[in-house]
Every structure is written in C-alpha cells, then in structure tokens.
Chain A
Amino acid sequence: GEEVAQTPKHLVRGEGQKAKLYCAPIKGHSYVFWYQQVLKNEFKFLISFQNENVFDETGMPKERFSAKCLPNSPCSLEIQATKLEDSAVYFCASSPRTSGSNEQFFGPGTRLTVL
C-alpha cells in the first residue's frame, strides 16, 4: 500500500495480559522501525528490521517484548504480561533507505492502554 497501516487503533489490556500490534509497511520499503511514544512527547526507538531480519534491537526491553517481520505477513510487536508502564502509543515506520536518506514514513499508531 501507499501508507503504513497499523492495527488495531486502540488496544486495552489488563495488567499481565498479552498485547499484539501489527504493522504493514509501504510496499517496496525494506526497512521497518518501531517506536514507543509515552505521554504525547518522548519517542523511544524499540527495534528495526531489514526485510525479515532484525537490524537493530538495542531499544527493545530485554523481557516481555518481541517482534517479527515475516515474508508476506504484517510485522508484529508483541508484549507478554503487560505492565502499566507499557501504556503508550506504538508507532511503526517504514523506509526505502535509498540514496543515503532514511526518511521514515509513519503509521497512525496503536494506542495501548494497560489497566
């Protein structure tokens, strides 16, 4: 598609439940990035993929968070046993990464609320 698609728009989970978020990058973009935005300002990088391979996972919490980008499937970000502090908007971005430019195109985000 021409835009990054993210589903669901909103997700509510009780503490300890699992949350799974999906991202379909723009067709032809080989790089996918996940960011977490807390309290409407600070963005935190989580993980990036080059096609189905993890490119940079330095931002991923060691426990509970995992992500995948499989061929012919939307990318996913999964949080096992959610905690209150996981409440945030999770953004996915994709990039063609051409000509030394890494302009990233963002999806509308998934708002996760952990109760």
Chain B
Amino acid sequence: SQQGEEDPQALSIQEGENATMNCSYKTSINNLQWYRQNSGRGLVHLILIRSNEREKHSGRLRVTLDTSKKSSSLLITASRAADTASYFCATDAMGNTDKLIFGTGTRLQVFP
C-alpha cells in the first residue's frame, strides 16, 4: 500500500501568494524528500529532510517534519507561475533498502 498521503490534492493560487502542501506517512523513516514534476516530465529533487531535523529551508522553500505525527509540510513562498507543477513527498522508510515510497501528490496551479 502507498506510504504517503498528500493534501490538498489540488491547489490554485495567485502569483505572490504562499502555497502549503502537507504529507502524511505511516512508518518510521530515515528521511523525507520533496520532488516536483512538471507536466510530462521527470521528477526534480527539491529538498531532503532527515528524521532528526525539524525544519529546513532552500530558497523560497521551507519544509517541516514532525515525526511524532508522521507528517511533513512544504511551503513555497511568493509563488510564481513557473511553480505550477505536481509536488510529491517521498519517504525512505527505516529498515528499507533506500527505495522511495511516494505520496499521492499535490497539483499546484499558480495563476499570473
């Protein structure tokens, strides 16, 4: 069964607004990663947060991790039309062989 669930499934915002996506997972993890997928393209790695980290920043991205709630959030600040894409969380479960278990994805649409 799929490890992660993401919400919302879809999000539409105006340029300049912030976008927040949430991810929940089921088992203990080594790390959690966020990826972006533009339509018809491959996955682009955005950020990795380890299980002993609570928050991480990269440019306009802010990721939080709450291992007690088995959840993570991705915040994109000051969104741009170019941020329009699907965003996936992926977990590397403890005891696993590095395979990633993906969430269901959030489709983000940013209107200019």
Residues of A within 8 A of B (CB): 4, 31, 33, 35, 40-43, 45, 48, 55-56, 58-59, 91, 93, 95, 97, 100-109
Contacts and interface: CB of A to CB of B under 8 A. Distances in A.
20 contacts: A31-B98, A35-B100, A41-B86, A43-B90, A45-B99, A48-B98, A55-B98, A56-B98, A56-B99, A91-B43, A93-B43, A97-B98, A101-B48, A102-B31, A104-B33, A104-B45, A104-B100, A105-B45, A106-B42, A107-B42
Interface of B: 2, 30-31, 33, 35, 41-45, 48, 50, 86, 88, 90, 92, 96-102, 104-105
A4 B42 CA distance: 10
B104 A41 contact: yes
A103 B88 contact: no
Contacts of A93: 43
Contacts of B2: 42
Contact of A48 (B45, B50, B97, B104): B97
B48 A33 contact: no
Contacts, number: 64
Contacts of B43: 91, 93, 106
A108 B41 contact: yes
A101 B98 CA distance: 9
Contacts of B50: 100-101
Nearest to B105: A41
Given A100-B30, A105-B45, A56 B86 contact: no
A35 B88 CA distance: 14
Contact of B97 (A55, A105, A107): A55
Given A91-B43, A108-B41, A109-B42, A42 B104 contact: yes
